């Protein structure tokens, strides 16, 4: 018999194929990232196509992408059958936007690492000019200059 995306696998089979623990699978299920059905013996079974979701979750985690972002891009995928090529294209477009924002934030961090980020440390020469006496603390907590720069860039790209 040929394997099909709509086959159903036991949790043990999914664990073996993905390397993900049972507790992690439960967690992803609770977060709505994957879906399990019940068989006649009330055991949780997963459609084989869920393996692709699980694999993408693993990769996203490795890249430091929060599960909430993954949930956002998975939100439009069907649970009851294997997603089509068009479904994955939609996800890919949404994900690309998230990844571009992340890449820009990393670039900002790289560029600003030698300058004043407005964090209140006053330890760089540039702080004298850009944050004298930590005046930027009036604009809120955290590395104010870095945050404002990153916020304005993402507003521009969204708008």
The whole-angstrom separation of Cα 138 and Cα 135 is 6
Decide if 33 contacts 57 (C-beta within 8 A): yes
Shortest separation between residue 68's beta carbon and ligand FES, angstroms = 29
| Residue whose CB is less far from ligand FES, 87 or 134 | 134
| Residue whose CB is less far from ligand FES, 54 or 119 | 119
Q: Which of 51, 119, 146, 150 binds ligand FES (CB under 6 A)?
A: 119
150 touches ligand FES by CB under 6 A: no
The whole-angstrom separation of Cα 14 and Cα 47 is 10
The continuous run of DSSP H or E covering 51 comes out as helix 50-62
146 touches ligand FES by CB under 6 A: no
The whole-angstrom separation of Cα 52 and Cα 39 is 21
In the region spanning residues 25 to 84, those forming contacts with ligand FES, defined by CB under 6 A, are: none
| Residue whose CB is less far from ligand FES, 106 or 128 | 128
């Amino acid at each position: 018999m040929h394997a099909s995306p709509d086959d159903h696998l036991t949790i043990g089979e999914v664990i073996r194929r993905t390397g993900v623990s049972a507790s992690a699978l439960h967690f992803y299920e609770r977060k709505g990232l994957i879906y399990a059905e019940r068989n006649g013996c009330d055991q949780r079974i997963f459609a084989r196509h869920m393996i692709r979701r699980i694999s993408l979750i693993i990769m996203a985690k490795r890249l430091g992408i929060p599960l909430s972002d993954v949930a956002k891009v998975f939100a439009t995928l069907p649970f009851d059958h294997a997603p089509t090529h068009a479904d994955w294209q939609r996800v890919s477009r949404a994900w690309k936007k998230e990844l571009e924002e992340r890449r820009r934030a990393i670039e900002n961090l790289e560029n600003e690492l030698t300058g004043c980020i407005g964090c209140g440390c006053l330890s760089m020469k540039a702080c004298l000019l850009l944050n004298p006496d930590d005046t930027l603390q009036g604009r809120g907590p955290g590395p104010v200059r870095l945050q404002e720069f990153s916020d304005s860039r993402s507003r521009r790209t969204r708008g």
